[in-house]
Amino acid sequence: MIGRCATDGSLGSPVALLKRSALANNSRWMHRFAAHYGVQLAPHGKTSMAPKIFEMQLRDGSRWLSLANVTQAQVARTAGAKHILISNQVVNRHDLEYLARETSSGEFEAMCYVDSVEGVRLLETAINRYARKTPFPVLIEIGVVGGRAGVRGAEQAQEVARAVNQCPSLVLAGLAGYEGVYSPKDSECISKVDGYLHSVVEIARKLRAEEHFTGDRIVLTAGGSKFFDRVAEIFSTANLGKPVDVILRCGCYLFHDAGIYEEAMQMLYERNDFARSLGKLTPAIELWGQVQSRPESVRAIVDIGRRESSYDAGLPIPYLWSRPADGQAIRTLGGSTTARLNDQHCFLDLEEESPLQIGDLVGFAVSHPCTVFDKWHGMYLVDDDYTVIDFIETFFG
């Protein structure tokens, strides 16, 4: 497949593409942003679950990778990741055994979350099965009422911190949060996000005053792909009496999209002068399918459906087309929208004068990269002329 053109019909249909130039642009953008605020980037690998992407992110300067669970962490280790943040609680016996065993030698470093005394005890029991030179670092997750996991306030955080400090094999490395529970569509989202992040800092300040952080540094981590600027602003100015390592866990920045993350980034550019000065993130994912039928003058059926495209945060957006039979160049497709998806079919609404014919290729932008990647066992990496230069394999459970 290497060297073929992804849009001339020589590959099967449909196909998922990653554009190399967009990946490079987005990586440079985010690393420049992180450097400006003096924060670290631990890309969330659950988005792609692709070892070649992990390798790229590590080469580009990320020391840490974030993963959602231990199974994902094992995949990341095949890409050479030696510093992994499990951005979740780990309570499964097999997973705890893996973390305890693999980190005992000191050649692999991991952190995970705790939000209960019970969780601390489970982790301690597993860690104690193996001799180790240094304690295993944990982060207390700070949640919000009605949100997902995490302690609900300072009192619970103090209880969990005391439990950690009673375990010689564990050390409280810092606090973790997730501000992505708030929606950019909420007119008060920034005040809510800021209030939440300030509460994390305030809890850290209380735990620091009570000497629960026994290490030389304190980790503060948060940052989905919608409000990471607020995380960088607030956490990087936290005064905790010790050096603070701020870690952003953005997952979708590298791939971006033409939907929910594009909308969120437009708001971010407006409120953050430095982000705006860097230029813009570029959508890196395209789905290409073939017109199978044009049963009506204002309708075309393309061989892309729910099995190939995300649809939880918006339907795929048709915006390019090509006619392989004539060797026609890629052109912009106007006047068409996705009406609905079946499992394997996309219903396009067209203008009557639309040029689309049976066999033509249609390129789609997407909304929400995470729920595109998990539908493919791999994506073709292409240059700007759509020449295939690599195949990016994915490893979802």
Which residue pairs, CB below 8 angstroms and at least 24 apart, start in 62-67? 64/40, 64/247, 66/42, 66/249, 66/251
397 has a pLDDT exceeding 80: no
147 has a pLDDT exceeding 90: no
User: What is the pLDDT, as a whole number, of residue 276?
Assistant: 98
Q: What is the pLDDT of residues 353-374, one digit of tens each?
A: 999 999 999 999 999 999 999 9
Identify any residues that bridge with 85 across adjacent strands, giving them in sequence order.
66, 111
Same domain membership, residue 210 and residue 61: yes
CA 29 to chain centre: 15
327 has a pLDDT exceeding 80: no
Distances from the Cα of 291 to the Cαs of 168, 333, 355, in angstroms?
63, 13, 11
Within a domain: 153: yes
Those residues with Cβ within 8 angstroms of residue 305's Cβ, 6 or more apart along the chain or in another chain: 341, 342, 343, 344, 345, 346
Same domain membership, residue 109 and residue 52: yes
Closest alpha carbon to 5 in 389, 379, 342 = 389
Find the CATH number of the domain harbouring 181. Answer: 3.20.20.10
User: What is the pLDDT, as a whole number, of residue 1?
Assistant: 80
- CA–CA dist 369, 251 (Å, integer): 9
Using alpha carbons only, how large is the chain's radius of gyration in Å? 23
309 has a pLDDT exceeding 90: yes
Domain residues for the domain of 184 are: 38-250
- What is the average pLDDT across 137-149? 93
Those residues with Cβ within 8 angstroms of residue 2's Cβ, 6 or more apart along the chain or in another chain: 388, 389, 390, 391
What is the residue whose two structure tokens read 């009506």?
296
**Percent of the chain at pLDDT exceeding 70:** 99
Within a domain: 332: yes
Q: What is the mean pLDDT of the chain?
A: 96
Same domain membership, residue 245 and residue 145: yes
Q: What is the pLDDT of residues 57-105, one digit of tens each?
A: 999 999 999 999 999 999 999 999 999 999 999 999 999 999 999 999 9
Closest alpha carbon to 212 in 177, 181, 241 = 241
Same domain membership, residue 243 and residue 291: no
Encode burial over 223-241: b for 16+ CB neighbours within 10 A, e otherwise.
bbbbbbbbbbbbbeebebe
Within a domain: 7: no
Same domain membership, residue 201 and residue 119: yes
Q: Which of 201, 235, 250 is the last residue of a domain?
A: 250
Same domain membership, residue 240 and residue 160: yes
Q: What six digits make up the tokens of 242?
A: 């010790």
Same domain membership, residue 284 and residue 224: no
- What is the average pLDDT across 155-183? 97
Closest alpha carbon to 12 in 275, 391, 299 = 391
3-state secondary structure the chain: CCCCECCCCCCCCCEEEEEHHHHHHHHHHHHHHHHHHCCEECCECCCCCCHHHHHHHHHCCCCCEEECCHHHHHHHHHCCCCEEEEEEECCCHHHHHHHHHHHCCCCCEEEEEECCHHHHHHHHHHHCCCCCCCCEEEEEEECCCCCCCCECCHHHHHHHHHHHHCCCCEEEEEEEECHHHCCCCCCCHHHHHHHHHHHHHHHHHHHHHCCCCCCCCEEEEECCCCCHHHHHHHHCCCCCCCCEEEEECCCCCCCCCCCHHHHHHHHHHHHCHHHHHCCCCCCCEEEEEEEEEEEECCEEEECCCCCCCCCECECCEEEEEECHHHCCCCEECCCCEEEEECCCCEEEECCCCCCCCCCCEEEEECCCCHHHHCCCCEEEEECCCCEEEEEEECCCC
Q: Which of the pair, 326 or 357, is modelled with greater confidence?
A: 357
- What is the average pLDDT across 164-177? 98
- What is the average pLDDT across 1-23? 94
Same domain membership, residue 186 and residue 60: yes
Same domain membership, residue 156 and residue 209: yes
- What is the average pLDDT across 175-203? 96
User: What is the pLDDT, as a whole number, of residue 306?
Assistant: 98
Categorize the per-residue pLDDT at 190 as very low, low, confident or very high, splitting at 50, 70 and 90: very high
Categorize the per-residue pLDDT at 145 as very low, low, confident or very high, splitting at 50, 70 and 90: confident
User: What is the pLDDT, as a whole number, of residue 356?
Assistant: 96
Within a domain: 14: no
Identify any residues that bridge with 254 across adjacent strands, giving them in sequence order.
none
205 has a pLDDT exceeding 80: yes
- CA–CA dist 272, 74 (Å, integer): 36
- CA–CA dist 46, 384 (Å, integer): 26
Same domain membership, residue 387 and residue 325: yes
Those residues with Cβ within 8 angstroms of residue 374's Cβ, 6 or more apart along the chain or in another chain: 49, 394, 396
Identify any residues that bridge with 112 across adjacent strands, giving them in sequence order.
86, 138
Within a domain: 8: no
27 has a pLDDT exceeding 80: yes
Find the CATH number of the domain harbouring 314. Answer: 2.40.37.20
Q: What is the pLDDT of residues 228-269, one digit of tens each?
A: 999 999 999 999 999 999 999 999 999 999 999 999 999 999
Same domain membership, residue 222 and residue 291: no
User: What is the pLDDT, as a whole number, of residue 136?
Assistant: 98
Same domain membership, residue 319 and residue 242: no
Number of domains into which the chain is organized: 2
What is the residue whose two structure tokens read 């104690």?
128
Within a domain: 86: yes
314 has a pLDDT exceeding 80: yes
Within a domain: 260: no
Identify whether the C-beta of residue 380 lies closer than 8 Å to the C-beta of residue 388.
Answer: yes
**Percent of the chain at pLDDT exceeding 90:** 95
Q: Which of 231, 250, 269 is the last residue of a domain?
A: 250
Within a domain: 13: no
- What is the average pLDDT across 277-286? 98
326 has a pLDDT exceeding 80: no
User: What is the pLDDT, as a whole number, of residue 329?
Assistant: 87
